[in-house]
Amino acid sequence: MSEKGIHTDFKDNMTYGEYLHLDKVLSSQERLSGHHDEMLFIVIHQVSELWMKLILHELNTAIESIEKDELPEAFKMLARVSRVQTQIIQAWDVLATLTPAEYMEFRDSLGRASGFQSYQNRLIEFALGYKQPHILKIYEKDPELASSLTAAFQAPGIYDVAIRALSRAGFAINPALLTRDFSVTYEGDPTVAAAWLEVYRDVDTYWDLYQLAEKLVDIEDSHQQWRFRHMKTVERIIGFKTGTGGSSGVNYLKSVLDHQFFPELWDVRTKL
């Protein structure tokens, strides 16, 4: 079937490839070892970083929207984050096709480069409220990047602005939480727990706050699934070896599985 209206002359028009800068994107997979399976390793990590870029784009705008009490707008962004998370979770299934013997053929080519150093992953953790000061040292090589990470490290995360939204809605939130040091990982507060309990007990009155809470639970649930699949994929490929970046590998990945970003939103399920 002929498509008579299709454009074929692009001498003076932008093409699909030019719009997406595919010349740069598709020339960025440089195998250092020349081993066939290194291509898989590079593509999986690059694709995951692109998805992380979109997650950050949505999370940061959602934080701004919640601060302005524009909750319905934030819901769309947070729902999109959850959908993106399914993509990066499933990416581990593809990487898991890499066997230990295949990975050892090119692992030395990575030097000390490691996914542990992913600054976008750190920015996501900061946006979700998980902040570890020693992490910032990794990025001192690039002053501009280090500055951006420090700013995000000190800024309120999405749960901090959700707590502020609770306060603006009339809940008796501990005032110290509203202006606390946001570079410190949040660990919970009785006033926040009481507020969320009331929200869940009176869904009709606090529908938007209830929806916000459930969107946050969706994101934490998916992030922990991503962490778990990361840990199991690493264990499957290198066992309990030290990571290329010097981390304890599987042991480190297991240690973060118990951390809760939004503790009261999990505790409320027991209290209801």
Q: Residue 95 and residue 37: Cα distance in Å, rounded?
A: 10
Pair of tokens at residue 71? 């909750």
Let me know how many helices (H) and strands (E) the chain has, helices first.
13, 0
Judge whether 186 and 264 are in contact, CB under 8 Å.
no
Burial 202-232 (b: 16+ CB within 10 A, else e): eeeebeebbbbbebbbbbbebbbebbebbbe
Judge whether 245 and 112 are in contact, CB under 8 Å.
yes
Report in angstroms the alpha-carbon separations of 1 from 4, 205.
9, 57
Collapsed DSSP state (helix, strand, coil) of residue 240: coil
Judge whether 52 and 120 are in contact, CB under 8 Å.
yes
Report in angstroms the alpha-carbon separations of 160 from 24, 94, 182, 189, 231.
38, 35, 8, 12, 28
pTM above 0.85, yes or no: yes
Pair of tokens at residue 226? 């991503």
Which residues belong to the annotated binding site for heme?
230
Which residues belong to the annotated binding site for substrate?
41-45, 103, 107, 244
What does the chain come to in residues?
Answer: 272
Pair of tokens at residue 134? 């020693």
φ/ψ (deg, to 5) at 246: 95, -5
Predicted confidence at residue 1, as pLDDT, reads 61
Q: Which long-range contacts (CB under 8 A, 24 or more apart) does 102-106 make?
A: 102/35, 102/37, 103/37, 103/41, 103/237, 103/238, 105/33, 105/35, 105/37, 106/31, 106/32, 106/33, 106/35, 106/37, 106/38, 106/41
pLDDT tens profile 120-172: 999 999 999 999 999 999 999 999 999 999 999 999 999 999 999 999 999 99
Predicted confidence at residue 2, as pLDDT, reads 67
φ/ψ (deg, to 5) at 105: -70, -25
Judge whether 31 and 42 are in contact, CB under 8 Å.
yes
pLDDT tens profile 230-254: 999 999 998 988 877 777 789 889 9
Which residues belong to the annotated binding site?
41-45, 103, 107, 230, 244
Please name which of 185, 266, 272 lies closest in space to residue 218, comparing C-alpha atoms.
266
Residues of the chain with pLDDT under 50: none
